[in-house]
Amino acid sequence: MVNTNFALLAIYTFEATFRLFAEQEYYHHSRWNLVDVGIVLTGYLDICLTYMPGSDGWGSSINIESFIRLLRVGRIIRALRLFRRFPELYKLVVGFMSTMKAIWWGFVMILMLLSIFSLLAVELVSPFTNKVDDHNLLGDPWCDVAFSSVARSVLFFFQTLVAGDSWGACT
């Protein structure tokens, strides 16, 4: 892993240096070039912090290193540049991102509906399960508490929605 990081850092350094010599004064006009410089500088900062005295070789004694290592994920941003060169791939990625946005809002809507029905279940079903539980007819300990609070009711409905398990056991 360490050798891979060094190799990628060397490749990024050479690429940024050669691009600087090729573009000269126009180098700073491209945001992608600035992203590349930020990635390279973050890589060198990570190396300096990892192998500084007082560190155990992996840099676990410094908290800022975790943040610097997280910035290494910025290398993935460089892959976005490839998407512009291939229009079909770019359309797929844009479509995927818009789909993820729709999925997120669908999840929010489902969560809101689960909350509403959980409120209703706590008010309407909980008294029924309490009466049935007094006669020990349910047989499942989860059924005793499934509708005792809104949070547990949301959990019950979510389990039923996702796994479809034990709907009839508690009602």
Whether residue 28 is contained in a domain is answered as: yes
pLDDT tens sequence across 123-136: 988 887 777 666 56
**Can you give the residue range of the structural domain that contains 155?**
103-162
Q: Does one domain contain both 112 and 81?
A: no
Q: Is residue 57 located within the same domain as residue 118?
A: no
Asked whether the predicted pLDDT for residue 88 surpasses 50, the reply is yes
Is position 150 within any domain? yes
Q: What is the pLDDT of residue 115?
A: 94
Query: Does 47 or 134 have the greater pLDDT score?
Result: 47
| Residue 92 domain flag | no
Cα–Cα distance between 66 and 9 in angstroms, integer?
A: 18
Count of structural domains, the chain: 2
Whether residue 78 sits in one domain with residue 8: yes
23 pLDDT above the threshold of 70: yes
Quote the CA–CA distance of 93 and 85 in Å, as a whole number.
13
